[in-house]
Structure 1
Amino acid sequence: MQRIKPEFQSFGAEVRRLRKAAGLNQQRLADLVNVTRSYITQVECGRTRCRRDLALRLDRALKSGTTLAEAWDELLESIKSDKYPEFFANFPRAEQSASMLRSYEDRVVYGLFQSEAYARVLLNDDDALKNRMRRQEILNRLPAPSITGVMDETVLYREVGGKTVMREQLERLLELSEMSNLNLQVAPIRYIRNVWATFTIATLPDQRQVVYTAKAYGGETSSSPPHVALANEAMATLQAEALNVRDTRALIRRVIEERWT
């Protein structure tokens, strides 16, 4: 079986994101750039590398400036040097091509798990909200990534948007916890060794890893082996200390009943 290069997969994810943002289906985009729909499918899935002239035509059809042309140039350089392109350091793009995602949140619900009403309170910006909701399409991607989310128990009690919003959000968590590719765990309110900040680890199809760590001024993306190792150690500790999936569901149901009903 041919191995899909993560660079191609990331480029394809960007094509798919821009196509959906433009409100086009694959057939319409194929017609606009004079290729077959199946070829657009192959590009979006990372099974083929398109020519640069197609990247330019895609930019024109999607009204995306030079976004895809620049991504294509970076992809070519990455193949020559066996390094990831610069745009791949952008964590949301790494997230979209990941085969496994593991996250820890200590203040609010993980972005991929947020209900629209909950996210709207946090973001207070229509474009940012649309991007947040678009990111969640990864939950139903085929093949689906394996996703583990650990959150501090205080997240269940921290009010965001009022009782109705919180009840809907926790019910959303229960729904997500039933997905076969998703593990949801709650870490009890206690000190946990070597856990100092929220973070997400994206494991790419070739098993390389990228970690995003939240900072007071925004966040930091790194593929440095020491940084990745620290994040993996923290995640292992968190999962050992956290409630299992079944007990997590029971706790969420109890919090809904006792606090948000």
Structure 2
Amino acid sequence: MLRADLQVQIVVCKLHVVAGTVSGMAGSTSMAARRELADELRRLRGGRRGAVVAADLGWSESKLSRIETARTGISDADLERLLDALAAPVGERIRLRDLADRGRARVWWAPYRSSVADPYDEYVAFEAEAVLMCEWEAQLVPGLLQTDEYAHAIIQTGADVHDPETVQRRTALRMARQSVLTRDPAPRLCVVLDEAVLRREVGGREVLRRQLQRLFDASRRPGVELQVMPFATGAHAALGEAFVIFEFEDRPAVVHSEALTGGQLRTKDTEVLVYRKAFADLRRRSLSVDETREVIARTGERLD
């Protein structure tokens, strides 16, 4: 069982989401606004080299790059200097200032930022804004479908985790993220799991048994499509890498692939297409949704 203090952390984080629906929506909007501003600033720079613009402002090139890739917000003072340097038309400045203001809005997961790496902001924002998520996992149950005790068992083994408080806060945040599946309208979630995920006893047999029950229940939810890739399939197009394809209503898709030292984002059309084809191959080779549900149930029964 989870410790009482962890359960309290999870309840508190969920209350932030439920009681702060407006704040949660602002979190989604703020990241979208930051990316829109970044796109506009790159457009205004045109053919000028980033290194030259940064030098003119007395900035490092990396500072300008972080702003232009939406990895960080921008202060009012820096925005005005940058707009001057880019000779931004007067008529556009009001809209760009508004985007900058919205990009600095407080997001619902802000209290938990200190326990996770900076790029996590982008990942949570993608979840909040996506209309479709296609995920391949070869090792673990995806975070949006994990139980709290399963998540806790995973997080506490992280090589970058050094204290119980970080484990608690990361677990609480992961549980709070799951509210995205109950929003209106909810995104579609298509998941392909390697059969190994159903058998790896993360947290022990009882934890895995309850996790499998959660997966079985999730497979019955509208908008959730769960498939298992059986061992007998052999080689396939996504060996050695876990990834999520985030599809949006009004902008290009983004792929997030996971590694020990953090995730990597892929936004080039050619790269995204490779991952779409790989996911389509995974789905073709996997068990159907109904067959998957039966396999999950049988695997859980063996743990009783």
- Do both share a fold (TM > 0.5)? yes
Instruction: Name structure 2 gaps, 5 residues minimum.
Output: 1-12, 44-67, 73-102, 104-118, 157-166
* Alignment correspondent of 1:120: 152
Contact 2:14 2:176 in 1 (8 A): no
Contact 1:183 1:245 in 2 (8 A): yes
Partner in structure 1 of residue 299 of structure 2: 255
Give the corresponding residue for 2:220: 178
Q: What's the counterpart of residue 195 of structure 1?
A: 238
C-alpha distance 194-43 of structure 1, shift in aligned 2 (>3 A): closer
Spell out, residue by residue over 1:159-208, the C-alpha distance to the aligned partner (whole angstroms, 9 max, x if none). Answer: 11111111110000011001111100000113333213110000011151
Deviations 1:9-64 (A, max 9, x none): xxxxxxxxx996488546xxxxxxxxxxxxx5896497xx8xxxxxxxxxxxxxxx
1:16-95 to 2 correspondences below 5 Å: 21=16, 24-25=19-20, 40=22, 44=26, 75-78=36-39, 85-86=70-71, 90-95=122-127
Q: Between the two proteins, what is the percent identity of the paired residues?
A: 28
Q: Does 1:152 align with 2:152?
A: no
Q: Distance in 1 between matches of 2:172 and 2:19?
A: 16
| SS of corresponding position for 2:258 | strand
Q: Paired residues, what number?
A: 209
Cα distance change of structure 1 residues 168 and 228 upon mapping to structure 2, 3 Å threshold: same
Task: Tell whether the 8 Å contact from 1:192 to 1:238 is kept in structure 2 after alignment.
Answer: no
Cα drift, residue 110 of structure 1: 0.7
Corresponding residue of 1:109: 141
> For the residues of structure 1 that align with 2:285 and 2:270, how far apart are their CA atoms?
23
Relative to the length of structure 1, the TM-score reads: 0.71
Correspondences of 1:238-249 after superposition (within 5 Å): 238-249=282-293
- Indicate if the aligned counterparts of 2:257 and 2:265 stay in contact, CA closer than 8 A: yes
Segments of 5+ residues of structure 1 without an aligned counterpart are 1-17, 27-39, 50-67
Q: Distance in 2 between matches of 1:74 and 1:253?
A: 43
Q: Distance in 2 between matches of 1:194 and 1:25?
A: 41
Q: Deviations over 1:92-111 (max 9, x none)?
A: 21121000000000011011
Query: TM-score, normalised on structure 2?
Result: 0.61
Q: Is the 8 A contact 1:75 1:84 kept in 2?
A: no
Aligned equivalents of 2:23, 2:152: Cα separation in 1: 32
Compare CA radii of gyration and give the structure with the larger one: 2
> By how many angstroms is 1:79 displaced?
5.0
Residue 254 (structure 2) pairs with residue 210 (structure 1): yes
Cα distance in 2, alignment partners of residues 193 and 153 from structure 1: 13
Compared CA separation, residues 160 and 227, structure 1 to 2 (3 A): same
Within 2, Cα distance between the matches of 1:86 and 1:135?
A: 20
Contact 1:103/1:150 (8 A) holds in 2: yes
The answer to whether the 8 A contact 2:139-2:194 is kept is yes
Task: Determine the C-alpha separation between the residues in 2 that align with 1:111 and 1:19.
Answer: 15
Equivalent residue, structure 1, for 2:129: 97
Q: How far apart, CA to CA, are the structure 2 residues paired with 1:22 and 1:95?
A: 14
Structure 2 CA distance, aligned partners of 1:172 and 1:182? 13
